[in-house]
Amino acid sequence: MKVTPLTSPSNPLLKHIRGLQQRSFRDKSRQFLIEGPKVIAEALSAGIEIKDVVISQSYWQSGTIAHELNFNRLSLVEDKLFAELITTESSCGVLAVAHQPAENESSLFASSPALVVIAENIQDPGNLGTIIRTSLAAEASGIILTKGTVDPYNPKVVRSAAGALFKLPLITGLTIDESIKLVKNHQLQVLACCQGASQLYWDANLKLPTALVFGNEGQGFKAETRELCDGEIAIPMSAKSESLNVAMATGIILFAAVQQRRPENQS
Amino acid sequence: MKVTPLTSPSNPLLKHIRGLQQRSFRDKSRQFLIEGPKVIAEALSAGIEIKDVVISQSYWQSGTIAHELNFNRLSLVEDKLFAELITTESSCGVLAVAHQPAENESSLFASSPALVVIAENIQDPGNLGTIIRTSLAAEASGIILTKGTVDPYNPKVVRSAAGALFKLPLITGLTIDESIKLVKNHQLQVLACCQGASQLYWDANLKLPTALVFGNEGQGFKAETRELCDGEIAIPMSAKSESLNVAMATGIILFAAVQQRRPENQS
């Protein structure tokens, strides 16, 4: 293994990494950052192509470098310089530059009956990460992130999705109208999940091929979006409670689908 | 309304506030901090006694001070000084010092059939806040936080619980053994929620008076804790998925109880 110490903040690789903290540069280069040994190992095992790995001095000295990260080529930087490369916890000690995997629309519908999550205009990276992680756990077939939604390759999303980002089919760049059209073309029912809908989620038939639409944390959906959907479902809540977190709402409804689809319910 | 400018970092109130960032001082004084106008308004409407309110210069100048915060006495500090008082987002501009409400064991069992959450050794403030917020939404009767669990009056918990902290009966300071004994004395069944349990959560009878025990993010429970419970339930998960966030698991199981207990299921 070759370890190259990088000492100048203006080193091209370090400049490239700092650039990847910005969405515009991630979109242009189709690369992204993965922070922490655990998520990097998940990426590798999912076949994500890693371009470069940078480790901090103290991580290197600790001797705990994970077997999975035994690359031919590592770059080593001082802790202070490393902290500038990282957007979550600088203590993680290891950072990878990776290529964004290609998107493939048909992969969204590969499992049957399909269960697709449409994340419309979700803003909080932690929420999106949790939605991705939970969608994988609930065996959703895939997730569509509409144009207004936070970038799934934002380092905070990558971290909070905890590896699920690399295993769940994912499409970006469509508007909400295009997203709904796409899933309808594949014969999915489209249900908008929103407070105040008259149908409760457990009364919907989630055994059917289904797309669940979850909206922005504060604003929910536009009326026009709701009209494009086949129906609306709500989670009933205590009158004392103002709202549920959108990631939590996603998990509750996805697992209601898991429950409805359990083997002993198939006939 | 009287507005008192505080300019010295060593002002007794500002020292008191910085002290309240530490659990030991919160425990001793039985006071805590509430950050942001929205959560302060929630606290007031829930009858929490507010002792002092501090606002930042720029918040004061913005003229957006909420009606609910129209106290007789406000302290005003420079933005830079304000930032040192706040542990979450310093942009919130307003901070209150409040008295911790008294705990009352019997309030945990006031609703029938009881549905109590036992949070055992939960470490992440965001997780605990989400568990509290979701428990209120699901009409849980109350929550027990065992001794090892993060302080519910940690400012980050206060913020992420989004007001629910003030509306949900809550008990702290018991060990896990004492917590289980307490709920068993009130004739609740005690179910440990853990990965790998043979019973799935939807097969448990959650219409019965029930306590649900959720364990530490990384370690789960000790074997002795599981032995004290009446049963164990699991959330089935995709083989590709490593785990669910503990707050998410809490929400999924609590809403399964809501679904089982819905009016048309009562006979």
Concatenated DSSP letters of A136-199:
HHTT-SEEEE-TTSPPTTSHHHHHHTTTGGGTS-EEES--HHHHHHHHHHTT-EEEEE-TT-SE
Rounded distance between C-alpha atoms, residue B152 and residue B171, angstroms: 10
pLDDT of A70 > 80? The answer is no
Instruction: Please list the residues that pair with B210 across neighbouring strands.
Output: B115, B189
Q: Find the CB nearest B251 among A243, A251, A262.
A: A251
Q: Output the pLDDT for position B89.
A: 72
Identity of the amino acid at B220: G
Q: Which H or E run includes A115?
A: strand A115-119
> Do the beta carbons of residue B101 and residue B34 sit within 8 Å?
no
Mean pLDDT across A93-115: 94
pLDDT band at B116 (very low <50, low <70, confident <90, very high): very high
Per the structure block, which two tokens stand in for B194? 């853990």
The three-state secondary structure class of B237 is: coil
Mean pLDDT across B146-164: 94
Contact B236 A252 (CB under 8 A): no
> Do the beta carbons of residue B4 and residue B76 sit within 8 Å?
yes
pLDDT of B95 > 80? The answer is yes
pLDDT of B254 > 90? The answer is yes
Q: Is A240 on the interface with B (CB under 8 A)?
A: yes
pLDDT of B118 > 90? The answer is yes
Tens-digit pLDDT profile for residues A119-155:
999 999 999 999 999 999 999 999 999 999 999 999 9
Q: Output the pLDDT for position A66.
A: 59
Residues 180-239 of A with CB under 8 A from B: 200, 202, 235-238
Q: Find the CB nearest B255 among A134, A167, A235.
A: A235
Tens-digit pLDDT profile for residues A168-215:
999 999 999 999 999 999 999 999 999 889 999 999 999 999 999 999
Per the structure block, which two tokens stand in for A60? 């290197």
Do the interacting molecules here have an ipTM over 0.90? yes
CA–CA–CA angle A116, A118, A120 (5° rounding):
175
pLDDT band at A88 (very low <50, low <70, confident <90, very high): confident
Q: Average pLDDT, whole number, for chain A? A: 92
The three-state secondary structure class of B115 is: strand
Identity of the amino acid at A177: D
Terminal-residue alpha carbon distance, chain B: 56
Q: Output the pLDDT for position B219.
A: 83
Residues near A45 by Cβ (< 8 Å), separated by ≥ 6?
A: A68
The alpha carbon of residue A98 is apart from the nearest alpha carbon of chain B, in Å, by: 21
Side-chain-side CA neighbours of B92 within 13 Å: the count stands at: 23
Rounded distance between C-alpha atoms, residue A34 and residue B91, angstroms: 29
Q: Find the CB nearest A240 among B136, B202, B238.
A: B136
Q: Output the pLDDT for position B266.
A: 67
Mean pLDDT across B7-24: 95
Contact B130 A248 (CB under 8 A): yes
Chain B partners of A243 at a C-beta cutoff of 8 Å?
137
Look up the pTM and report it: 0.93
Which tops the pLDDT comparison, B267 or B17?
B17
Percent of chain B surpassing pLDDT 90? 79
pLDDT band at B214 (very low <50, low <70, confident <90, very high): very high
Rounded distance between C-alpha atoms, residue A180 and residue A58, angstroms: 49
Tens-digit pLDDT profile for residues B161-209:
989 999 999 999 999 999 999 999 999 999 999 988 999 999 999 999 9
Per the structure block, which two tokens stand in for A190? 């489209």
Rounded distance between C-alpha atoms, residue B78 and residue B74, angstroms: 13
Rounded distance between C-alpha atoms, residue B50 and residue B89, angstroms: 20
Q: Is B93 on the interface with A (CB under 8 A)?
A: no
pLDDT of B13 > 90? The answer is yes
Contact B137 A238 (CB under 8 A): yes
pLDDT of B120 > 70? The answer is yes
The three-state secondary structure class of B75 is: strand
Contact A202 B242 (CB under 8 A): no
Q: What is the number of helices (H) and of strands (E) in chain A?
A: 10, 12
For chain B, the 3-state helix, strand and coil shares in percent, each to the nearest 5, are 40, 20, 40
Which residue, among A115, A128, A248, A265, would best test binding to B if mutated, counting the most B CBs under 10 Å from its CB?
Answer: A248
pLDDT of A90 > 70? The answer is no
Question: Given the DSSP bridges, would you call strands A94-99 and A50-56 parallel, antiparallel or unpaired?
Answer: antiparallel
Rounded distance between C-alpha atoms, residue B36 and residue A107, angstroms: 44
Q: Which residue is associated with the tokens 């400012």? A: B155
> Do the beta carbons of residue B200 and residue B144 sit within 8 Å?
no
Residues 116-145 of A with CB under 8 A from B: 126, 130, 133-134, 136-139
Q: Is B2 on the interface with A (CB under 8 A)?
A: no
The alpha carbon of residue B251 is apart from the nearest alpha carbon of chain A, in Å, by: 7
Percent of chain A surpassing pLDDT 70? 96
Quick one: which of A104, A162, A102, A154 has its CA closest to A125? A154
Q: Output the pLDDT for position A196.
A: 86
pLDDT of B4 > 60? The answer is yes
